[in-house]
Amino acid sequence: MASINLIDSFQEFKDAENIDRPTLMKVIEDVFKTLLRKKYVTDENFDVIVNDQTGDLEIFRRREIVEDDMVEDENLQIPYSEAIKIEPDYSVGEEVYEEVDVRDFGRRAILAAKQTLAARIGDLKKNNLLKKYADRVGEIISGEVYQIWKKEILLLDDEGNELIMPKSEQIPTDFFKKGEPVRAVVKKVEMRNNSPVIILSRTHPSFLEKLLEIEVPEIMDGLIVVKKIVREPGERAKVAVESYDDRIDPVGACVGMKGSRIHGIVRELRNENIDIINYTANTQLLIQRSLTPARITRMELDNDGHHADVYLEPEQVSLAIGKKGVNIKLAQELTGYSIDVYRDSQEEELEYDIDLDEFSDEIDEWVIDEFKKIGCDTALSVIGLSVEELVRRTDLEEETVKDVQRILKQEFESEA
């Protein structure tokens, strides 16, 4: 028979289910046209027809009928005496269509075509895989653990494609078994040795972001926006969220009733502590929130140098720094400010107090009496109030109040 069933003859086709048929048929046509050019120099007068349902291939050659002694190119022309053998009604000037038996190309040529076809299909599958996962970078996918090595694990997706998760992209407490389903985010797709390699990650911030999208419908709907995520995988993560709807509490929505939404994410991340905080453009407030769970006493901010000195009560310092310095490290990444933490020694330095009567040699008695009337009978009680507050509550002039506070502060400075 002149036709050849390609699906039976070329086993590679059976592995090409994910390649669309028109593309596959075009590749077959190209391969055999190359074969024709090698044998006949040109393929212009050949029609390669591939049945996209059965895979059958048929090749027809067109030749012009000329007088027997006028043949110049046997590939393009056929003598009249031969043409009438095919069909007696033919006449000079007409075209003859002849079917070419593929087996006439020879065993070696067919084998070469088969190898070329296999290579082309392999390239198509690689390009399809590359494009498929390049479009899914940043998305969560599920794979089954197939092989576990020291530096990475190999997973298979639903179609049997190989996915790689390096050790550096695994949460330190991750422990996998062969056949176990694993969720991860597609981090990147790259070519290695002319083959696409899909890299998965469970440590990238986008993994936590996508988990939040799944668990919190308000994020998926765009009512809540995740402004920034910083993570120390397996230890702690900080998520700054903002709501575009005043009726929605972004932190409460992310945590859920009794922590119902956040608990599933925490379990997926191997008990990673997740701090959800309200985003704000107020840098000082953002720094304060980013140091959760610590409570700040006061702060000195240098906006130009992107630096903050934070003062806390002694028992709060360790909370601000966190285990292995993780909490303060994440706070710095979240805010973009370098943060130094100090014990607030202001109260320790001023823990002693002095009765106002002790200053009677420097401050008039009637002035001291004015302070006593509003309950300020010690030096610290006067220093602790603002000038405006003292002027409002007493009958003293602003200059008098400032002079008194200056005298009292000088006394404490000299004692220090």
Q: List, for residues 72-129, the tens digit of each pLDDT value.
A: 888 888 888 888 888 888 888 888 888 877 777 777 777 777 777 777 777 888 888 8
Please give the Cα distance from 35 to 31 (Å, whole number).
7
C-beta separation of 412 from 350 below 8 A: yes
pLDDT, residue 2, reads 38
183 vs 157, 208, 230, CA distance in Å? 11, 11, 20
- Cβ burial of 229 (10 Å; 0-12, 13-18, 19+) is buried
- Residue 242 has which token pair? 């903002």
Please give the Cα distance from 409 to 412 (Å, whole number).
5
pLDDT, residue 346, reads 53
pLDDT in tens, 301-326: 988 889 999 998 888 888 898 888 89
- Cβ burial of 346 (10 Å; 0-12, 13-18, 19+) is exposed
Region for 181 from its dihedrals, namely left if φ exceeds 0, alpha if ψ lies in -120 to 50, beta otherwise: beta
pLDDT in tens, 285-295: 999 999 999 98
- Cβ burial of 324 (10 Å; 0-12, 13-18, 19+) is exposed
Residue 349, pLDDT > 70, answer no
3-state secondary structure of 310: strand
Residues 6+ apart with CB under 8 A from 202: 165, 169, 170, 171, 174, 182, 183, 184, 185, 233, 269
C-beta separation of 253 from 272 below 8 A: no
Residue 375, pLDDT > 80, answer no
* Backbone φ and ψ of 178, nearest 5°: -60, 135
Q: In angstroms, how far apart are the furthest CA atoms of the chain? A: 142
pLDDT in tens, 175-195: 999 999 999 999 999 988 888
Residue with tokens 């003062």: 311
In sign, the C-alpha dihedral spanning 351, 352, 356, 359 is negative
pLDDT in tens, 40-53: 888 888 888 776 66
